[in-house]
Structures are given as structure tokens and as C-alpha cells.
Amino acid sequence: MFAVIKTGGKQYRVAKDDVIVVEKLAGDAGAKITFSDVLMTGDGKGLKLGKDLGGVTVTGELIETKKGDKVTVFKKRRRNTYRRKIGHRQAESHIKITAIGGKNDKE
């Protein structure tokens, strides 16, 4: 079974025991995270969209929050002795998906 969730302005296709990297979420390592913004679910036989979802949630466990890889930003204008170099490391959370289901399901 899989689900498509939305968090941090992005969409992720997840299944049980997947580890995903998302924008930084609040909480300590080991905290339970619940994603209620589920866009679609499927089990290989059929799909559920929109009103058919009716309270389906995806739960996960926060493994760690750390900084991602460095992105280097380099600006240059030729023949003007203008150079700027800056770097950025985005904070990201690693989450292990533990369950996909709703209030009535125990999947």
C-alpha cells in the first residue's frame, strides 16, 4: 500500500518502512509525526482520491533533523571585478513511515 502526502509545499509518494527527507519539522528524535494532508492512496488494485480518503492519515517517526548538503551560490559579472560566493545548508528531517491508514483502518 502506498500514499501520496503533502508537506513543506512538496508531495511525496510513501509506503510503509520508507525513509523520506523533508523540510525541517518540529520535534525531537523518536517523536511521532502524523501527516493528515493525504492526497491519494493505493494498494495495487485501486486508488482512492478526494472524498474517498475520508480521514486517512500517514504516521511516521522522526529519525533525525540535520543540515543537508551545501549549495554554493556564485555570482560574477565579467570585466567588473565583481564576485560573490556564499553557501547555504538547508535544515532537513529524516522520517521513517510506520503506518498508512485511517481512523477505521488498522493497516
Mean pLDDT of the chain: 91
pTM: 0.81
Residues 6+ apart with CB under 8 A from 27: 33, 62, 65
Side chain identity, residue 100: I
Hey, what's the cell of 65?
533533523
Q: What is the pLDDT along the chain (107 residues), one digit of tens a residue?
A: 899 999 999 999 999 999 999 999 999 999 999 999 999 999 888 888 888 888 899 999 999 999 999 999 999 999 999 999 999 999 999 999 999 987 655 44
Taking only the tens place, the pLDDT of each residue in 48-67 is 888 888 889 999 999 999 99
The answer to whether 22 and 47 have CB atoms below 8 angstroms apart is: no
User: pLDDT per residue over 7-18, tens digit each?
Assistant: 999 999 999 999
**Burial class of residue 1 (count of CB atoms within 10 Å of its CB; 0-12, 13-18, 19+):** middle
Three-class DSSP category at 78: coil
